[in-house]
Amino acid sequence: MIETDNDLRDLIGASQALSQEMVLDRLVEKLTLTAMQHAGACRAGLLLLRAGQMQPVAKGEVSAGQVLYLEDGTLSELPTAVLTRVAETRQRTVLDLQPDRASLGITSSVTARAAICLPLVAQKRLVGLIYLESEKQPAWFTEQRLLLLDLLASQGAIAIENAVLFESLQRAEQEARQARDELQQEFDLTPVQVWRTDANGVFEAANKEWWDYTGYTTFEEALNHQETCHPDDREKVFGLFARLRDAGVPGQVECRMRRFDGVYHHVLARAAPLRDEDGNVIRWHGTTVDIEEIKRAEQAQAALSRVGRLTALGELAVSIAHEVNQPLMAIVTNAAGCLRWLEGSPPDIAEAREAAERIINDGHRAGEVIASIRSMAKKAPPKFVEIDVNEVIKEVLAIAANELDRHEISLRKSFAEEGCLASCDHVQVQQVILNLIMNGIEAMDAESSPRILSVSTEHIEEGRIEVAVSDNGKGLATEEADRVFDAFFTTKVNGIGMGLAICRSIVENHGGRITASPNAPRGCTFRFQLPGLSTPRN
Q: What is the pLDDT of residue 230?
A: 92
State residue 106's pLDDT score.
62
Counting every residue written for the chain, the total comes to: 538
Query: What is the pLDDT averaged over residues 157-173?
Result: 83
The pLDDT of residue 62: 79
Mean local confidence (pLDDT), 447-460:
85
| 48 three-state secondary structure | strand
215 pLDDT exceeds 60?
yes
Would you state the pLDDT for residue 535?
46
pLDDT of residue 263: 92
Please tell me the pTM assigned to this model: 0.38
Residue 219 has pLDDT above 90, yes or no: no
Would the pLDDT of 536 be above 50?
A: no
- Closest by CA to 44, choosing from 25, 60, 21, is 60
**Euclidean distance between CA atoms 369 and 499, whole angstroms:** 13
The reported pLDDT for the residue numbered 368 is 66
Would the pLDDT of 142 be above 80? yes
Q: What is residue 457's three-state secondary structure?
A: strand
The per-residue pLDDT for 250 is: 92
Is the pLDDT higher at 320 or at 315?
320
Q: In this predicted structure, what is the pLDDT of residue 2?
A: 44
In the predicted structure, residue 302 carries a pLDDT above the cut 70: no
Q: Is the pLDDT confidence value at 184 over 70?
A: no
Nearest to 87 by CA among 125, 60, 35, 38: 125
Residue predicted with more confidence, 410 or 380: 410
* Range with lowest mean pLDDT among 218-222, 267-271, 524-528: 218-222
Residue 51 near residue 37, CB atoms below 8 Å: no
pLDDT of residue 538: 40
Lowest mean pLDDT among 72-76, 297-301, 505-509: 72-76
Helix 292-343 / helix 349-377 crossing angle, nearest 10 deg: 180
- pLDDT for 454 equals 92
Over residues 99-110, mean pLDDT: 60
Cα–Cα distance, 120 to 151 (Å, whole number): 10
What average pLDDT does the chain have?
Answer: 79
Q: In this model, does residue 467 exceed pLDDT 90?
A: yes
**Half-sphere exposure of residue 223, counting CA atoms within 13 Å on the CB side?**
3
Taking only the tens place, the pLDDT of each residue in 44-76 is 888 888 888 888 888 887 776 666 666 554 555
pLDDT, residue 188, reads 67
With cut-offs at 50, 70 and 90, classify the pLDDT of residue 322. Answer: low
Q: Are 105 and 144 in contact (CB under 8 A)?
A: no
pLDDT number for residue 537: 41
In contact, 204 and 196? CB cutoff 8 Å: yes
Q: What is the mean pLDDT of residues 129-153?
A: 85
pLDDT tens for 341-357 read 778 778 878 877 877 87
pLDDT band at 1 (very low <50, low <70, confident <90, very high): very low
CA distance 246 to 235: 16
Q: What domains, with CATH codes, occur in the chain?
A: 5-168 (3.30.450.40), 191-290 (3.30.450.20), 311-531 (3.30.565.10)
Q: What is the pLDDT of residue 108?
A: 55
